[in-house]
Structure 1
């Protein structure tokens, strides 16, 4: 559970599934890991998918995306369940792939505190939780240890959505509070508060996944975000940057265009690159069962360690 919020439009079972055995590590995901992730989302988004105005509301969300009117999407609470049902599946599948890489599994094995920026819709929560099933497998999977903490941050209240996703995860995969703990807080990355600074400084891993480019609607505040990561990420901690590999990531400064990751790449005295790839495709498996179409994704990835 992320919270005790009751006024959510999505109803899911609370807690682990009493008909299942104890947590089974990577076996919790079954034979088809991608389908297992979609089954969690189908459960969590069941009420949203049945809304009579789902298609009309989704069309309005797409229109506002085209106009880059993000507040018009995310400050309307009725849009949030529809957004999650439509857009989270492909990203959750992609993020699962990212977090099952050897470099990310090594971090998860250390039972880190993860601070996920701009992560209210739940893609990180679902993808990381699925990857944790892999990381918590093996001979020491039942040894008592501090739980992995996934702290989702966003600028509007996604708590009911995250609560529903967390409940579905615990029910489907039998992940308990001993394995993983979920937190959520509200904060604005364009006007960074002392709480955001404190969360960055205490995290073992900070993620910015498909959020950094959106900050460049205000270049001055976007650069302040870069400065904040540099200043408050502690030595030895990691910063994961993932975003579109297309033109959306090109930022114009003066008369030149730069890919957004170049702002962090240039800070060689601060960051050690662990993973650096300018172009990746995530292609989902064929034959997956979900009520809505799922698109493939093209993205870049950077994993830095703070020196």
Structure 2
């Protein structure tokens, strides 16, 4: 297998069919090898070593095992001579910000002899879908592995675990085995990267190795097939017994995928989704918005995104953890109003979450962090380093 190479991150890929809303009045402020950038370039980028509370360094063997999960689950896409063609079609759709065209218009169950085109705003994105690779398979094979490793390192970091897994070891030891708390995560806009990142926490020696895990994925894209294959790849050992399951026993890893537009979820459904009801068993819920919030603001409109955040706040029980990871810098600026004045996403996020003193507490943030892949890892195709910002809130 080739060594990993870095490329520039390709931006978020969320299939958002979101309605525009009138925004409220606001006031306020080519691929290259990993390590190929010289020191001056990295210094100009504001590169810095992440502190131990921002990322947990996952063991090299575990990182390689995670890449193996993708290699097995998405083998047909990774070995197809048409992978590059599929990736170029997805990249074109993403460049046009046509998320529905990229991911929501191809019915993989119906073979088509010619081309399928999705026209939006006078622009056309075409997919060859006779024996073609489903767009989500192509996307997951190319961009999700690095994100899964990054997300797992953030989820396992001390600052996140301190809030999410807040029950002390003494209190947990006093609970009957059947009543011990699980790790519960609701991934809004979640798909391939989120399920593998969450499963990584449940592996031997990691933050949730002695917990059960409940993951709820909510996205308007048709991720079910990809998610199912990735989960199977994590919980099944090899037939020859040479490779053990990454998560065992399989019953520890519960996954519920819901194909829903989060902006169309009403108060009652949001309450059940975030609170979990009796099914949560008292577990603290971590709500993740990984490269999703930017799309909610830009594609959905400021009003719709604000309504979602307020609805989330009203539905979240005390102690709920909200973890936001998104693009840094100018990639996360939102144009608001007739004059298209730009606001940093983090400023808008704080405005809607912290304006009520009784709502959320912000416990951590970093505006720009690098996640870099080790060049000694291997994967069938080239992958990218990624740069991100992170914000962590806890419901009061």
Match of 2:285 among 204, 218, 221: 204
How many positions carry a matched residue from both structures? 271
Runs of 5+ consecutive residues of structure 2 not aligned to the other structure: 1-57, 109-133, 167-180, 237-244, 277-283
Q: What is the match of residue 208 of structure 2?
A: 136
- Aligned ranges 1:3-82 → 2 under 5 Å: 32-75=61-104, 76=106, 77=108, 78-82=134-138
Is contact 2:156-2:201 (8 Å) kept?
yes
SS at match of 1:135: coil
Measured after TM superposition, the shift of residue 43 of structure 1 is 0.8
Match of 2:142 among 86, 94, 98: 86
SS at match of 1:65: helix
Q: What is the match of residue 326 of structure 2?
A: 243
State how far apart, in whole Å, the 1-side matches of 2:365 and 2:221 are.
31
SS at match of 2:202: helix
Q: What is the match of residue 195 of structure 2?
A: 125
Is contact 2:365-2:390 (8 Å) kept?
yes
Match of 1:224 among 307, 316, 321: 307
Q: Which has the higher contact order (CA 8 A, sep 6+)?
A: 2
State how far apart, in whole Å, the 2-side matches of 1:62 and 1:306 are.
37
> Where in structure 1 do 4 or more consecutive aligned residues deviate above 3 Å?
none
Match of 2:229 among 145, 157, 164: 164
Measured after TM superposition, the shift of residue 92 of structure 1 is 0.5
Q: Does 1:98 align with 2:154?
A: yes
Measured after TM superposition, the shift of residue 169 of structure 1 is 0.7
Is contact 1:108-1:148 (8 Å) kept?
no
Over 3 Å counting, the alpha-carbon distance change for 1:30 and 1:242 in structure 2 is: closer
Is contact 2:78-2:141 (8 Å) kept?
yes
State how far apart, in whole Å, the 2-side matches of 1:229 and 1:176 are.
33
Deviates more, 1:185-194 or 1:160-169: 185-194
SS at match of 2:77: helix
Over 3 Å counting, the alpha-carbon distance change for 1:262 and 1:57 in structure 2 is: same
Over 3 Å counting, the alpha-carbon distance change for 1:195 and 1:48 in structure 2 is: farther
Match of 2:350 among 245, 252, 265: 265
Is contact 1:30-1:36 (8 Å) kept?
no
Over 3 Å counting, the alpha-carbon distance change for 1:213 and 1:136 in structure 2 is: closer
Q: What is the match of residue 113 of structure 1?
A: 184
String of CA shifts for 1:122-159, please: whole Å, max 9, x gaps.
1011012112320234xxx3xxx6x2101111113211
Q: Does 1:186 align with 2:259?
A: yes
Is contact 1:245-1:300 (8 Å) kept?
yes
Over 3 Å counting, the alpha-carbon distance change for 1:94 and 1:30 in structure 2 is: closer
Measured after TM superposition, the shift of residue 42 of structure 1 is 0.6
Deviates more, 1:295-304 or 1:216-225: 216-225
Q: Does 1:155 align with 2:196?
A: no
Q: What is the match of residue 25 of structure 1?
A: none
Measured after TM superposition, the shift of residue 164 of structure 1 is 0.4
TM-score (norm 1): 0.82
RMSD: 2.0
State how far apart, in whole Å, the 2-side matches of 1:205 and 1:136 are.
13
Measured after TM superposition, the shift of residue 79 of structure 1 is 1.0
SS at match of 2:197: helix
